[in-house]
Copies of this chain bind each other. A is one copy, B any other.
C-alpha cells in the first residue's frame, strides 16, 4: 500500500495498465454512500468505462464476472476495519483488479489490503466530514481524465479547491436553522428523506445512518423523482420531510417535490445548495457533482442539533461496536 494523491495514484496505475474497462465502487453503509458521487460522475462523464456501486458483501458473494486486470475497485471504510469492505478489497485483488482504498485510519486492515490508498481527515471540522466523499470523486475525475480526457477537468479542480472552505464558511450561518430543525423534528418517530442526482445517496445516508442508526428514528428515503410514483401518498398536513435540493440538472425534480410538500402543508425542511452558494465555487459543467459534499457537510450541523435536542448522542448505539454479529 502507498498513500498519495488521486492524481499520482491514477498515473501510477496507468503505467501498468494502459487501458482499463471498468471502475467499481464498493463499500458498506455510509462509506458506500460516500462513493456514490464518484459513481454518478463516472456513469455520466465516461465515454467507455463500465461502472457500478455495491455493498461489500454483494461484491464478495456475487461480483460481476468480468472483474479482472482491466478493473479498478475503489473501496472505502472510515475506520478501515469493516470486515465486508476489507474482504472486498482482498477479493478484488484475488480477481486481478487494481485496488484503491480510502480510509481515515492509516494502519488499518483495509489500508493494508489495498495496493493504493488515500488516508483522509474526518475529525477536525465539518469540511473533513466529506473528505472521503470528495477524494473518491477526485479519483473518478482523474480516471476519466487520464484515460479518456475530461473537458471540464480544470473546472472540476476549481471546485475541489473551493468546496472545503465553502462548507466551513456556510456552517457559520446555519446554527439558527439547524436549531429550528431540531426543535421541530425532535419528537418525530418517522422522517421521510429525499434527494436527486449525485445527492441521492446523501438522502440514503441521512436516513439510514444519521436517523436510523444514530437517532433510532425510522426514515424511508427515495429519489425526489420517485416520490411522485408512489411515496407521495403519505404527504399529509404536518407529515415530516427532509428535502435536499441540488443546484444543477436535477434541481427541477427537487423543486417539483418541494411544491407538492407545500401544496399539502407537510412539515418540511429544505437543505438547498443554492442557499449555500455552491455556484460561487463550482462552474455549470461540474456543479452537479459537488452538491453531495456541500449538503452533507452543512447537514451535519442539523444532525448535531437534533441529537442535542433529543439528548441522544450521535455516538449512541445498541449493537454496533458492542456485539459480534
Contacts and interface: CB of A to CB of B under 8 A. Distances in A.
A34 to B, nearest CB: 12
- The residue among A82, A196, A218, A248 with the most chain B CB atoms within 10 A of its own CB is A218
Interface in A40-56: 43-52, 55-56
Nearest to A220: B220
Contacts of A190: 189-190, 218
Contacts of A219: 220
Contacts of A317: 233
A225 B57 contact: yes
**In the complex, which range does the number of interface residues on chain A fall in?**
35 or more
A48 to B, nearest CB: 7
A145 B229 CA distance: 33
A212 B231 CA distance: 5
A115 interface: no
A78 B1 CA distance: 50
A213 B230 contact: yes
Contacts of A209: 229-230
Interface on chain A toward B: helix, strand, loop, or mixed SS? mixed
A232 interface: yes
A54 to B, nearest CB: 9
Interface in A174-210: 189-190, 192, 196-197, 207-209
Interface of A: 21, 28-30, 32, 43-52, 55-58, 61-66, 82, 84, 189-190, 192, 196-197, 207-209, 212-214, 216, 218-223, 225-226, 228-236, 248-250, 252-253, 256, 260, 263, 288, 317-320, 325
17 contacts: A28-B228, A28-B229, A29-B229, A30-B229, A43-B52, A48-B66, A49-B50, A51-B52, A55-B226, A61-B249, A208-B222, A209-B229, A213-B230, A219-B220, A232-B319, A232-B325, A233-B317
